Amino acid sequence: MSVTDSPVTATLRKVAVIGNPNTGKSTLFNALTGMQSRTGNFPGVTVEKKIGRLHLDNRVVDLIDLPGTYSLSPRTPDEMVSVDVLLGRQKDVGEVDAIVCIVDASNLERNLYLVSQVLDLGLPAILVLNMWDVAQARQVSIDVEGLRQRLGMQVIVCEAHRRMGVHELRQAIIHSDTLVAPIRPMPFPEEFYAECGLLKKTLTALGSRKLPFYLIERLLIDVDGHVEIQLAAEHGEGLTSVLKDARARLRESGCRVPIVEAKARYRWAREILDGVASVPRTRVTTRSDRIDRVLTHRFIGLLFFAAVMFLVFQAIYTWSGPLMDVIESGQNIVADLVQASVPVGPLRSLLIDGAIAGVGGVLIFVPQIALLFFFIAILEDCGYMARAAFVMDRLMTKLGLSGKSFVPLMSSFACAIPGVMATRVIENRRDRMVTILVAPLMSCSARLPVYLLMTTAFVPPVMYAGGWVSLREIVLFVMYLVGIFVAIPVAWLLRKTFFKGETPPFVMELPSYKWPSIRIVMARVLDCSKAFVVRAGTLIFATTVLVWAAGYFPADHTAQHQLAAQIELSEIQIAQFYADGNQSAAKQATVELTELLEKQNQISGDLIEASFLGRTGHAIEPFVKPLGWDWKIGVGVIASFPAREVIIATLGTIYSLGGDVAEDDASLTDKLRAAKHPDGTPVFNVAVACSIMVFFALCAQCAATLMVIRRETNSWRWPIFTFAYMTTLAYVGALVTYQVGMLLLT
């Protein structure tokens, strides 16, 4: 029975969970809610909104997971979300009844900084001393009862990854209505609070809405902070000068805003911990520290890093292959079933080429996503992820990014979809956005079939260095470099235009190593795969069906359907002849079947020319002509919008080979080599092939990536922007390649 049906149920309570990064917050959140959480985005920002429901003793509590943060001083709209949620100002969440504040017990002093801000909010709160085992390994001893008395709040000891203390915490959350509001720390000097009182009066006089006391403090402390920006927009210059005067008065009395906050709060933290917690005077070298000495060593560290990254890359690039094959054969089995039970016609085509291809087109990415997040979850859970960022930061700052962008970008060489999803590890919005927007430039595995087709067909098999290096390999390598070298100026431009401001600091805590938990890792894999299928899948599916419709309508398919029916009949006959032992009849029928198939491929090619897709291809021919393309290549490029590799099947269809061709199909390379313009000159040459490759290296012909960007940025603006800028780059790149290529050829 669902608890919500019960008449005894009290009103739904809401409890927010907050904590520093690396305190095991998400592990604890999952342990509490048992994976039953809804994820989405807070409106207008990139902050993920995760809400889990707790049922116990006929009570229901919604647990709201807030992003890990070191402080509640909002400088950006993203940081403001957490403060707004906690103060009940976030409309889509509503009033919050209590706060659970998770801290790292081995690092109490630093963690109490955030706690002091949470207590200043005035809401009932529970303090969770997580990572108790790490604290003990570091010889930190804490008098829990003493801490409870000093803080005036409930304190619970936890080891989230071993599920210790989880039950007790769940009870405390469920019964959080019995909690009393805690003692406010009031860490600032009296003058500060006097100025807050004055400011409050001034705001009322200015006709401002009633502000929570915490926001008045923030307004005074955070010079150019988000609260000031918001209110200045409402009240204009008047408020700015009031603030300036108030801050000047505080400075004169020795209370220097904004630096007073850190000093005051850390002084408070030390007073609270004095006599309650004891930290060894000298640094204790734990096993984790000894491991770290090796893993961040100048040579061994780099070697180990390279080995780990190679393993991760291998996994998504190679190991995902068999799993993807399984999905593909599953797709074929379902398609065969439909073929056997649905008569030839538009419905069958919709089901097979639209619906099943659409579902397959979504599921095909799941192995790569699942594998990447399997490794990311392990690396994060054991603590190596922070080291990876630490090791790579120097290199990535050269691109204007931080070390945290390395794993997402590297993963994008296998597939941009898990790569874009992996940017969630980057807390800084600017770094994250720039990484998301350049990730699709990395040459993913879907580009490889296009490169292979073009190089085998048009790049001569010249060998260099005594047969060690072939020209084809060099061309292939250059194609991979194109994306990287274009990404550098693009990232630079993005930081100079849309994402201006100072380089965000790389202030990061290196957590202790621990064994990863299988449960946590698997939960993460499931979570990410599910999120992709549910939230990006529908849009990817819709795109596939749309492109199918564009390639199917409005042509007249009767002749094709008759032929298809004839072919199926003929196949059955042949099987029958073989079964009867009538070899000659079977051979005769096979010859006829081959003719029929050829005819069908011919008709399919004609039909696609008559479809919306074909017409569009003809319409854009003047635009693609400078790239050295004819309308057929144009059609292939448009049809490959759902996924780049589709161009091979489309070219197969247009060149009357049927849609089942592979990139290494000799008949396709032959057809391409033989293709002629109406005036008799060949369509393809090295310049055209390179122009196509450069186009595909730089274009955003991947609906799935664009939909994932939409999901991750919570806006249509960025996928549209990505498509526009990449298509422009691809066009210009292909144009230059072809024109220069032709000059070199003649």
Partner 1 sequence: MTTLDSLNEGQKARILDVIGEDAIAMRLMEMGLTDGEEVEHLGCAPLGDPIEFFIRGYRLSLRATEARRVVVERIA
Chain residues that interact with partner 1, rule: CB under 8 A: 70-71, 73, 75, 106-110, 113, 138, 140, 223, 258-259, 261-263, 266, 279, 283, 293, 296-299, 301-302, 305, 390-391, 393-395, 397, 403, 502, 505-510
Pull the structure tokens for residue 566: 């004839």
Q: What is the DSSP letter of 164?
A: B
Best CA proximity match to 85, nearest among 50, 135, 133: 50
Best CA proximity match to 337, nearest among 348, 347, 328: 348
CB under 8 A, 24+ apart: contacts of 311-314: 311/375, 312/372, 312/375, 312/376, 312/379, 312/407, 312/410, 312/411, 313/410, 313/411, 313/413, 313/414
Q: Which is nearer to partner 1, 293 or 717 (CB)?
A: 293
Rounded to 5°, the CA angle 176-182-183 comes to 175
- What's the min distance (Å) between Cβ of 381 and partner 1? 18
Q: Which is nearer to partner 1, 115 or 391 (CB)?
A: 391
Q: Which is nearer to partner 1, 81 or 708 (CB)?
A: 81
DSSP secondary structure string for all residues of 189-254: -HHHHHHHHHHHHHHHHTTPPPPPHHHHHHHHHSTT-HHHHHHHHHHTHHHHHHHHHHHHHHHHTT
Q: Which is nearer to partner 1, 431 or 663 (CB)?
A: 431
Query: How many other C-beta atoms are found inside a 10 Å radius of the C-beta of residue 120?
Result: 21
Q: Which is nearer to partner 1, 293 or 673 (CB)?
A: 293
**Sequence-ordered list of residues with C-beta below 8 angstroms from that of 654, at least 6 positions apart, any chain:** 605, 608, 609, 632, 635, 636
- What's the min distance (Å) between Cβ of 217 and partner 1? 15
Q: Which is nearer to partner 1, 107 or 650 (CB)?
A: 107
Q: Which is nearer to partner 1, 162 or 256 (CB)?
A: 256
- What's the min distance (Å) between Cβ of 675 and partner 1? 50
Q: Which is nearer to partner 1, 120 or 261 (CB)?
A: 261
Q: What is the DSSP letter of 54?
A: E
- CA–CA separation, 365 vs 382, rounded Å? 26
- What's the min distance (Å) between Cβ of 487 and partner 1? 20
**Sequence-ordered list of residues with C-beta below 8 angstroms from that of 213, at least 6 positions apart, any chain:** 122, 196, 200
- What's the min distance (Å) between Cβ of 261 and partner 1? 8
Q: CA-based diameter of the chain, in Å?
A: 108
Query: How many other C-beta atoms are found inside a 10 Å radius of the C-beta of residue 522?
Result: 13
Adjacent-strand bridge partners of 38: 51
Q: Which is nearer to partner 1, 296 or 339 (CB)?
A: 296
Query: How many other C-beta atoms are found inside a 10 Å radius of the C-beta of residue 6?
Result: 13
Q: Which is nearer to partner 1, 102 or 627 (CB)?
A: 102
- What's the min distance (Å) between Cβ of 511 and partner 1? 8
Tallying the residues shown for the chain, one arrives at: 746
* Residue 745: exposure state from Cβ atoms within 10 A (0-12, 13-18, ≥19): exposed
Q: Which is nearer to partner 1, 21 or 516 (CB)?
A: 21
- What's the min distance (Å) between Cβ of 258 and partner 1? 6
* Residue 743: exposure state from Cβ atoms within 10 A (0-12, 13-18, ≥19): exposed
- CA–CA separation, 106 vs 131, rounded Å? 7
* Residue 675: exposure state from Cβ atoms within 10 A (0-12, 13-18, ≥19): middle
- What's the min distance (Å) between Cβ of 408 and partner 1? 19
- What's the min distance (Å) between Cβ of 87 and partner 1? 20
Q: Which is nearer to partner 1, 78 or 630 (CB)?
A: 78
Helix (H) or strand (E) holding 745: helix 717-745
Best CA proximity match to 725, nearest among 702, 698, 704: 698
- What's the min distance (Å) between Cβ of 297 and partner 1? 7
Q: Which is nearer to partner 1, 12 or 302 (CB)?
A: 302
Adjacent-strand bridge partners of 60: 55
- Cβ atoms 705, 490 nearer than 8 A: no
Q: Which is nearer to partner 1, 395 or 740 (CB)?
A: 395
Best CA proximity match to 589, nearest among 599, 575, 600: 575
Three-state SS for 303? Answer: helix
- CA–CA separation, 129 vs 431, rounded Å? 31
- What's the min distance (Å) between Cβ of 302 and partner 1? 5
Q: Which is nearer to partner 1, 189 or 301 (CB)?
A: 301
Pull the structure tokens for residue 730: 């691809």
- What's the min distance (Å) between Cβ of 702 and partner 1? 33
Which amino acid is it at 536? A
CA distances from 361 to 320, 413, 422, 537, 725 (A): 15, 19, 20, 9, 24
Q: Which is nearer to partner 1, 174 or 309 (CB)?
A: 309
- What's the min distance (Å) between Cβ of 510 and partner 1? 5
- What's the min distance (Å) between Cβ of 232 and partner 1? 17
- What's the min distance (Å) between Cβ of 254 and partner 1? 14
Q: Which is nearer to partner 1, 50 or 226 (CB)?
A: 226
- What's the min distance (Å) between Cβ of 737 and partner 1? 35
CA distances from 436 to 440, 441, 574 (A): 8, 10, 54
* Residue 681: exposure state from Cβ atoms within 10 A (0-12, 13-18, ≥19): exposed
- What's the min distance (Å) between Cβ of 426 and partner 1? 16
